[in-house]
């Protein structure tokens, strides 16, 4: 078993794994006598150098009464790609730590390094990669929102807590917490207390008790728009504006979605593409005319045939919910919205975007 462990990724998962690795040294106690913890959070190079110096001193010091010892460099933020790691002093100290690892730690010593990210191009990582157990811990979020991995983890945490989720709960909870495991566990514990043992949680309960803690990307807004979900689109827009999102960035995401849906609506209408009904469904592409394929050469519109099959299926399903005329009108509304945002209008950007969503997605009787 290697005596050096590098844990990279989600802080909650890395901390839990580090405690597991160091537990044998604690001997059932709190480990205060045989485990030395060093804070690796560093905003500046001198703080990173201080953390590394403390870590070097720890690995060079014998354990209490000559017994084994654990050194835990926690949340070493300077190991990622940053200007702090380029400091000459930090580089020298990283080289010194790598040399200690190569020479071998003192008998019975264990070194655990946790970090939110690590730059694999750095000489430190290259030097110790084969000498240490490197573990990547966390959930990768897909572009355009949370993915199946996040849903599976959230569902598992709910099950472990004895909570029975109602329809839509896993999806909504995943969207609100994102892939941060500390937040997921904390919010599920809150829901479990609210529901009681074996209780059932509804979407309304999640909306009441769980705040939106993740940074919502503009893709989430575009997806809600594509599904013609006016209520969710407005909620996401307000949350994004509250988080300080740039209005023009949000507008760009909406205009891009309308453009993509218009292309797919055309393809579906002309029978260049159709949705299969068997299994989980899929987009079947037929031969496109040369004139249509040439339209993608300038790069302004992405060829939908190059999109991931699952993503293409979702976008085609969204395109089916709009008519060609509705997409033309939506494009005009968003162009006008752009003019208002760029003008000296006294209207708030959030109000302008909300009105655009209402005009496009509201039922015809309310327009």
pLDDT, tens digit (0-9, with 9 covering 90-100), for 58-99: 999 887 766 788 999 999 988 887 656 668 888 899 999 999
CATH code of the domain containing 237: 1.20.272.10
Tell me: do 39 and 177 sit in the same domain. no
Tell me: do 64 and 171 sit in the same domain. no
pLDDT < 50 positions in the chain: 142-145, 365-367
Q: Which of 137, 167, 192 is the last residue of a domain?
A: 137
From residue 254, give the alpha-carbon distance in Å to each of 250, 340, 354.
6, 15, 12
Provide the domain limits for residue 84.
4-137
- pLDDT (0 to 100) of residue 356: 94
- pLDDT (0 to 100) of residue 142: 47
Beta-sheet pairing, 273-275 with 109-115:
unpaired
Place of tokens 């941060």: 180
Tell me: do 243 and 270 sit in the same domain. yes
Tell me: do 223 and 187 sit in the same domain. no
Tell me: do 231 and 361 sit in the same domain. yes
Tell me: do 224 and 355 sit in the same domain. yes
* pTM for the model: 0.54
- pLDDT (0 to 100) of residue 336: 93
> Per the structure block, which two tokens stand in for 358?
């209402």
- pLDDT (0 to 100) of residue 337: 92
Q: Which of 137, 160, 190 is the last residue of a domain?
A: 137
Within-domain flag for 142: no
CB 162 within 8 Å of CB 33:
no
- pLDDT (0 to 100) of residue 366: 43
- The number of residues making up the chain comes to 367
Q: Which of 89, 116, 137 is the last residue of a domain?
A: 137
CATH code of the domain containing 197: 1.10.8
- pLDDT (0 to 100) of residue 144: 44
- pLDDT (0 to 100) of residue 177: 80
- pLDDT (0 to 100) of residue 1: 57
- pLDDT (0 to 100) of residue 365: 47
Tell me: do 226 and 199 sit in the same domain. no
Query: What is the number of structural domains in the chain?
Result: 3
- pLDDT (0 to 100) of residue 258: 95
CATH code of the domain containing 125: 3.40.50.300
DSSP for 350-365?
HHHHHHHHHHHHS-GG
Tell me: do 222 and 361 sit in the same domain. yes
Angle at which helices 218-226 and 309-320 pack, to 10 degrees?
Answer: 50
Note the pLDDT tens digit of each residue in 43-67.
788 889 999 999 999 999 887 766 7
- Count of C-beta atoms within a 10 Å radius of residue 16: 15
Closest to 290 (Cα-Cα) out of 306, 308, 272: 272
Question: Could you give the CA distance from residue 34 to residue 73 in angstroms, rounded to a whole number?
Answer: 14
Within-domain flag for 201: yes
């Amino acid at each position: 078993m290697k005596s050096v462990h590098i844990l990279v990724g989600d802080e909650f998962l890395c901390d839990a794994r580090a405690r597991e690795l160091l537990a044998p040294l604690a001997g059932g106690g709190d480990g205060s006598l045989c485990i030395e913890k060093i804070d690796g959070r560093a905003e500046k190079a001198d703080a990173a150098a201080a953390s590394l110096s403390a870590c070097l001193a720890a690995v060079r010091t014998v354990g209490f009464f000559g017994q084994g010892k654990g050194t835990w460099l926690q949340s070493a933020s300077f190991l990622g790609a940053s200007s702090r790691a380029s400091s000459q002093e930090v580089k020298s100290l990283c080289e010194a730590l790598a040399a200690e690892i190569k020479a071998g730690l003192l008998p019975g010593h264990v070194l655990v390094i946790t970090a939110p990210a690590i730059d694999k191009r750095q000489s430190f990582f290259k030097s110790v990669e084969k000498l240490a157990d490197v573990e990547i811990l966390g959930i990768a979020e897909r572009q355009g929102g949370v993915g199946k991995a996040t849903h599976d983890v959230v569902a598992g945490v709910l099950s472990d807590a004895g909570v029975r989720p109602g329809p839509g709960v896993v999806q909504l909870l995943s969207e609100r917490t994102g892939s941060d495991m500390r937040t997921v566990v904390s919010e599920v514990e809150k829901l479990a207390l609210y529901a009681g043992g074996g209780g059932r949680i509804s979407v309304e309960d999640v909306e009441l008790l769980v705040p939106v803690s993740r940074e919502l990307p503009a893709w989430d807004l575009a997806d809600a728009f594509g599904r013609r979900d006016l209520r969710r689109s407005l909620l996401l827009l307000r949350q994004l504006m509250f988080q300080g999102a740039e209005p023009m960035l949000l507008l760009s995401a909406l205009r891009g979605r309308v453009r993509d849906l218009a292309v797919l609506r055309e393809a579906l209408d002309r029978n260049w593409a159709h949705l299969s009904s068997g299994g989980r469904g899929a987009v079947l592409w037929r031969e496109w005319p040369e004139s249509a394929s040439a339209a993608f050469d300038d790069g302004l519109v992405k060829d939908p045939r190059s999109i991931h099959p699952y993503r293409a299926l979702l976008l085609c399903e969204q395109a089916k919910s709009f008519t060609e005329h509705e997409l033309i009108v939506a494009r005009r509304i968003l162009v006008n919205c752009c003019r208002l945002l760029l003008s000296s209008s006294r209207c708030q950007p959030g109000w302008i975007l909300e009105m655009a969503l209402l005009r496009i997605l509201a039922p015809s009787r309310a327009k």
